[in-house]
Homo-oligomer: A and B are copies of this chain.
Amino acid sequence: MSAEIDPCSPIGPEQIGEWFEYTDVLIVGYGGAGACAALEAHACGAKVTVLEVSSGSGSTTSLSGGQIYLGGGTPIQTACGFTDTPRDMEAYVRMASGSSGDDEKIRLYCGDSLEHYAWLVNQGVEFNPEYYGGKHTNTPEYQSLAWSGNEKGYRERLVARPAPRAHKPRAFWEDGGATLMATLRKAVEATSITVHHETRALTLVKEGERVIGVLCRHDGQLRAWRARCGVVLCCGGFIMNKDMVRKYAPRLADATPIGNPADTGSGILMGIGAGGAVVNMNEGFISVIWYPSGEFCKGVFVNQQGNRFVNEDCYHSRGAHHCLNQPERKAYLVVDSAIYTEPPMYAAAKVIEVGETFAELERDAGFAEGTLSATMETYNRFAAVGEDPLFHKSPEFLRPLDQPPYALLDFSIDSGVYYPAFTLGGLDTSVDGQVLSASGKAIPGLYAAGRTSAGIPRNAEGYASGLSIGDATYFGRRAGRAAAR
């Protein structure tokens, strides 16, 4: 066997000397998707083995803030005084997924959300019935429930009654992801599921059309695992693979990614090699190291032409998407001294111009005469009466910017505030995680979940925190069950 193994070229069983281990369901990747797939396959009576490239479990889920997008009237929503229905959740998620959304996955994900909540609780995940109503990327203490997307947006309100749906496992601040994974790992450890760490999947083993195993590097050796029922790829996306990002998602290539180092696209490549189609490969989630939260979303985003382009109180990846869509990818936030007094995360906000009047700011920053100043005149005139007819920013964040000096903060592509965190394209899968060919046929024995597949979240514009972990855990479960059948 050559040392150069191509993930896109599955090998035949005749190329395997001897199988290292036999199992029923073989899961590659021990993050949120992999752990849930393993637990469900085991619950179906299958012998389950998990292979993980890192020395610890958790992967991207561990690194995240841990919010899970759940709704339809969960006990936490109810305890915090919110009403939600599966229908409202579905209408919202459908809108957020945009034109590339998978209707059937959305319907199941939202329809089963209460069941999924109960299942997570059953695995030991604790949610704290406390609500945080502020604007942050996560709840700042132990609260579980928060707003995490654009549910209160103007267009969104027209299709669905808003409700907070981010459910963070009981944990301090950003520790939700690590806590979630620690809990799932504990649940896995209470079963007979076998986990091998430091085991790198190299390529799939195929017998005719059927995927029957995985060839790995393990303990310095090439070793092959035989999966009698199915292989489930839960290896994350490809945000850390520079070549793949340049090839498939070039828009994300000019900013430094902050993903899990194991997100190298290996699972996607193995799936392609076995005949799987890939969809939505150009999209990714873009994080913003500091985003107008709290007082700051009372500021005004403008492009180089001095025009607004988005409601500044939107979810941060929507803001990022629109900032990066402006001419020459240049964007700025206009603030006044009243809102520039809030301390957090200043360091990342580069002030590029200060002026006593908008006309001065406009001139000194090189905007065309009468552009930025006209934009601010209109904004202030409407804000004074609590209106934003252009982008429908929520009245709670509307006030005229009238306390000089005014400042212009940089949100351009090269300002260093943008960080792609994970990709949103991957293997095309059925609602049961079966990897599909480009003609829509299931590849026998092969499943995928989490960011190795294209699931519920499809674009930065509509992203809401919790959609990726929600998708990974829910469809991970479905894939695990289907593989065990």
Contacts and interface: CB of A to CB of B under 8 A. Distances in A.
B305 A250 contact: no
A368 B378 contact: yes
Nearest to A306: B390
A389 interface: yes
Interface stretch (A20-28, A67-75, A216-224, A268-276): A268-276
Nearest to A278: B278
Nearest to A247: B279
Interface string A203-231: 00000000000000000000000000000
Contact of A8 (B6, B309, B370, B439): B439
Contact of A374 (B370, B389, B439): B370
Given A251-B99, A370-B377, A378-B368, A6 B277 contact: no
Interface residues of A, number: 48
A250 to B, nearest CB: 4
Nearest to A281: B281
A357 interface: no
A415 interface: no
Contact of A441 (B8, B155, B391): B8
B378 A390 contact: no
Given A370-B378, A382-B368, A441-B8, A305 B308 contact: yes
B279 A248 contact: yes
A100 B279 CA distance: 17
Interface in A93-108: 98-100
A307 interface: yes
A445 to B, nearest CB: 16
Nearest to A459: B250
Nearest to A253: B99
A6 B281 contact: no
A275 B327 CA distance: 38
Contacts of A248: 279
A459 to B, nearest CB: 10
Interface in A225-256: 247-248, 250-251, 253-254
Nearest to A277: B272
Given A7-B439, A307-B305, A98 B370 contact: no
A128 interface: no
A123 interface: no
Interface in A416-441: 428, 437-439, 441
Query: For the complex, would chain A's binding face be called helix, strand, loop or mixed by DSSP majority?
Result: loop
Contacts of A374: 370, 374, 377-378
Contacts of A308: 305, 307
Contacts of A98: 250
Nearest to A308: B305
A54 interface: no
A416 to B, nearest CB: 19
Interface in A393-413: none
Given A8-B438, A272-B277, A438-B273, A390 B247 contact: no
A302 to B, nearest CB: 10
A330 interface: no
A5 to B, nearest CB: 10
A437 B371 contact: no
- Select the residue from A100, A275, A328, A377 with max chain B CB neighbours within 10 A: A100
A381 interface: yes
Contact of A368 (B247, B309, B389): B389
A282 interface: yes
Contacts of A85: none
A325 interface: yes
A155 to B, nearest CB: 8
16 contacts: A8-B275, A8-B438, A98-B250, A99-B250, A155-B328, A247-B279, A248-B279, A272-B438, A273-B439, A305-B307, A307-B307, A325-B325, A368-B389, A370-B377, A370-B381, A374-B378
The 10 nearest A-B residue pairs measured at CB:
A99-B250, A368-B389, A374-B374, A307-B307, A8-B439, A100-B250, A272-B438, A305-B390, A8-B437, A282-B282
Given A9-B437, A370-B377, 20 more contacts: A6-B437, A7-B439, A8-B437, A8-B438, A99-B251, A99-B253, A100-B250, A155-B328, A247-B428, A268-B438, A269-B438, A272-B277, A281-B281, A281-B282, A305-B308, A305-B309, A307-B308, A327-B391, A368-B378, A371-B378
